């Protein structure tokens, strides 16, 4: 059990609450789209497809986070904030972490094979995006946006798993995720501003400073909220959607209000608690709205 716990800690499994709820939104949207087209899946088919989507979400994210920890192990060892992580602390050996990444990547690809052809064909591209993020902090300040793109694959990927086609509505949720994640990743990166600058690592806080970086994060969150609002009007959802939307936007405002350029004591509260509440509560109301609307 301790080994399992160590690997769950390595990939920060608790952070699954950020993208997973949006994957569920994409899945339910896909089911609604099939229903509107008079396509009815057997209950067993729905359960299997749902299980495969969850498996893809878990393995893709585990591969991405494990690879990030493997690639950044030398920097993590030098940073007092991250020196306690599993690889630099010697809890998990680097080669075992890499093996864990490979196994999860292979399971992800196999799972997409059993979903449908388009998911299988796009699986290598999805893996490239989520693994490539780990390199970006070495050469671009846009690394936060690349992370956002990686997590944004959740809603559209789940929708594709159900329908096998693209559609505007799940894409709007994906765009919302891009700027939501990018914004809170900038806030999280404030903790390592000086370290990143000293190690020639790229991040918006280390390049532009805390004040400008926070302003960019706020802009990103405004854009994210705009996509959430646009989805409501394009999707003609039930009014319950509005409650979820208000909570989501409220959490964006809240996290921006508690983090100051000269006071980072509440970064973890903004990063984990506010965003966890935002994604979970939003998904509950959106899914309820879809069930009542479509």
Q: Is residue 66 a part of any domain in this protein?
A: yes
Name 260's bridge partners: 263
Mean pLDDT along residues 91-116: 97
User: Does the pLDDT value for residue 294 go beyond 80?
Assistant: no
Q: Is residue 8 a part of any domain in this protein?
A: no
Mean pLDDT of the chain: 95
Q: Is residue 11 a part of any domain in this protein?
A: no
Number of separate domains in the chain:
1
pLDDT confidence of 256, banded at 50, 70, 90?
A: very high
Q: Is residue 1 a part of any domain in this protein?
A: no
User: Does the pLDDT value for residue 17 go beyond 90?
Assistant: no
Task: Identify the pLDDT of residue 39.
Answer: 87
Task: Identify the pLDDT of residue 2.
Answer: 81
Mean pLDDT along residues 109-122: 97
Q: Which of the residue ranges 12-16, 41-45, 184-188 would you say has the lowest mean pLDDT?
A: 12-16
User: Does the pLDDT value for residue 176 go beyond 90?
Assistant: yes
Nearest to 53 by CA among 153, 148, 150: 153
Q: Is residue 259 a part of any domain in this protein?
A: yes
Q: Which domain holds residue 80?
A: 16-293
pLDDT confidence of 145, banded at 50, 70, 90?
A: very high
Alpha carbons 50 and 158: distance in angstroms, whole number: 9
| 40-78 tens-digit pLDDT | 888 899 999 999 999 999 999 999 999 999 999 999 999
Q: Is residue 67 a part of any domain in this protein?
A: yes
Cβ contacts of 142-145, under 8 Å, gap ≥ 24? 143/202, 143/203, 144/181, 144/182, 144/183, 144/185, 144/186, 144/189, 144/203, 144/204, 145/178, 145/182
Q: Is residue 118 a part of any domain in this protein?
A: yes
Task: Identify the pLDDT of residue 41.
Answer: 85
Mean pLDDT along residues 178-196: 96
User: Does the pLDDT value for residue 181 go beyond 90?
Assistant: yes
Report percent pLDDT > 70 for the chain. Answer: 100
Q: Residue 125 burial (CB < 10 Å; 0-12/13-18/19+)?
A: exposed
Q: What is the CATH number of the domain that holds 33?
A: 1.10.357.140
DSSP string, the chain: -HHHHHHHHHTTGGGHHHHHHHHHHHHHHHHHHHHHTT----HHHHHHHHHHHHHHHHHHHHHHHHHHHHHTHHHHHH-TTTTTSTTTTTSS-HHHHHHHHHHHHHHHHHHHHTT-HHHHHHHHHHHHHHHHHHHHTTT-TTHHHHHHHHHHHHHHHHHHHHHSS--HHHHHHHHHHHHHHHHHHHHHHGGGHHHHHHTT---HHHHHHHHHHHHHHHHHHHHHHHHHHHHHHHHT--THHHHHHHHHHHHHHHHHHH-BTTB-TTHHIIIIIIHHHHHHHHHHHHHHHHHHH-
| Residue 55 CB contacts under 8 Å (≥ 6 apart), including other chains | 107, 108, 111
- Which region holds residue 270: left if phi is over 0, alpha if psi is between -120 and 50, else beta? alpha
Q: What is the pTM of this model?
A: 0.96
């Amino acid at each position: 059990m301790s080994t399992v716990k160590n690997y769950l800690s390595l990939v920060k499994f608790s952070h699954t609450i950020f993208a997973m709820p949006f994957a569920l939104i994409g899945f339910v949207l896909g089911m609604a789209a099939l229903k509107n087209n008079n396509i009815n899946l057997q209950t067993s088919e729905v359960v299997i497809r749902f299980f495969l989507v969850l498996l893809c979400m878990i393995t893709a994210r585990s591969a991405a986070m494990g690879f990030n920890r493997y690639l950044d192990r030398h920097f993590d060892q030098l940073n007092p904030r991250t020196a306690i992580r599993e690889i630099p602390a010697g809890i998990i050996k680097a080669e075992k972490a890499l093996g864990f990444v490979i196994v999860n990547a292979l399971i992800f690809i196999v799972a997409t094979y059993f979903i449908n052809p388009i998911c299988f064909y796009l699986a290598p591209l999805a893996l490239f995006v989520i693994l490539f993020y780990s390199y970006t902090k070495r050469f671009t300040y846009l690394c936060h946006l690349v992370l956002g793109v990686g997590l944004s694959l959740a809603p559209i990927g789940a929708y594709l798993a159900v329908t096998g086609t693209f559609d505007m509505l799940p894409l709007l949720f994906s765009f919302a995720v891009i700027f939501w994640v990018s914004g809170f990743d900038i806030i999280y990166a404030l903790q390592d501003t000086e370290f990143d600058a000293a190690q020639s690592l790229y991040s918006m806080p280390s390049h532009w400073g805390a004040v400008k970086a926070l302003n960019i994060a706020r802009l990103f969150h405004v854009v994210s909220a705009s996509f959430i609002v646009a989805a409501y009007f394009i999707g003609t959802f039930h009014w319950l959607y509005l409650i979820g939307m208000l909570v989501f936007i409220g959490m964006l405002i809240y996290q921006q209000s508690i983090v100051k350029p000269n006071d980072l004591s509440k970064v973890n509260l903004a990063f984990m608690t506010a965003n966890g509440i935002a994604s979970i509560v939003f998904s509950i109301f959106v899914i309820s709205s879809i069930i009542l609307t479509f």
